[in-house]
């Protein structure tokens, strides 16, 4: 049972990490003026970070 809880915690940590990585990348893209700034993009940056973070999570989860 304890092993199952640790696996779930690891999955959650990996997803949160993937979200954070993608949010940082999107922030960098905004600073580089590659994507629209915060005033234009608004909360969509968070939604994009969740979606792309989920894809990143799925890709790297297989190898871990």
Domains in the chain: boundaries = 2-61
Q: List per-residue pLDDT tens for the chain, 64 residues long.
A: 789 999 899 999 999 999 999 999 999 999 999 999 988 988 999 999 999 999 999 998 876 6
pTM of the model: 0.86
pLDDT for residue 63: 67
pLDDT for residue 12: 94
Let me know: does 15 contact 53? Beta carbons within 8 Å. Answer: yes
């Amino acid at each position: 049972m304890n092993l199952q809880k640790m696996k779930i915690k690891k999955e959650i940590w990996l997803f949160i990490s993937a979200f954070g990585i993608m949010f940082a990348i999107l922030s960098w893209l905004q600073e580089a003026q590659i994507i629209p700034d915060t005033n234009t993009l608004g909360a969509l940056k968070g939604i994009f970070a969740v979606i792309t973070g989920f894809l990143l999570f799925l890709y790297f989860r297989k190898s871990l």
